[in-house]
Amino acid sequence: MSQTVALLLQELKDPSSHQSNDLKHDAWIVSANSQEIQLLLDGLIELAQKHEIVNLSRLDGVLDQLNRRLHGPAIRQAAETQELDAVAGQSVLLYKHLGENSVCRWRLLHGLALASTSEALQAMVQLLPSASFPDDNAVALVFSPLFQQQSYTPSDVFPKLLDALDQIQLAPSILDLANFLVRENRTERHPASERRQQLETLLRDL
């Protein structure tokens, strides 16, 4: 493990890490190579397994920077599907080990949506029904790549995504995405066309 990765992981175990180090290490994440990113994710998974992450605001910043590094426009165009799927697999493991009480693991769902590979999207929709979000802005951020990316296949998202309709916080974004895919001629039938009764009940409750 590189010294920088070790120091960054140590910050997550320290509730009083210095902001100057945070900024320096954020800059490192943006320029890190693929192997270093893999090491960082492995380290995060190990810390989460041991319940050693106590600096939650720092974790939120690290996950945000990882998304920027892994899925920025230039990186996204050059990345191979195999590399993105490897990161997606690590992200799912980290998500599960952080546990349902984590206030920032939703950023890993955003990373899966940004990857937009078949494996990443299928993992995301499996996790969404039990996911929690700090606010509606976080939900919008997670769903935004699905409105922007043209490379994914809608069947990787629907109909499984409809299983999360019971989550009132998610339902508007799910329906907006379904309507969007129909308008853009990305799908022949409305993804929710066979869920009329559920939709009628949902609309009464909204």
pLDDT 10s per residue in the chain (206 long)? Answer: 688 899 889 989 988 766 666 777 888 888 888 888 889 999 999 999 999 999 998 999 999 999 988 776 545 555 577 788 888 999 999 999 999 999 999 999 999 999 999 999 999 999 999 999 999 999 999 999 999 988 899 999 999 999 998 898 999 999 999 999 999 999 988 887 777 666 666 566 55
The pLDDT value recorded for residue 49 is 96
Res 176: pLDDT:
94
The pLDDT of residue 36 is 87
Q: What pLDDT score was predicted for residue 15?
A: 81
* pTM, two decimal places: 0.89
Long-range contacts of 54-60 (CB under 8 A, 24+ apart): 54/12, 54/13, 54/14, 54/15, 55/11, 55/12, 55/13, 55/14, 55/15, 55/17, 56/102, 56/103, 56/104, 58/11, 58/12, 58/17, 58/22, 59/12, 59/104, 60/103, 60/104, 60/107
> Of 64, 43, 46, 53, whose CA–CA distance to 15 is shortest?
53
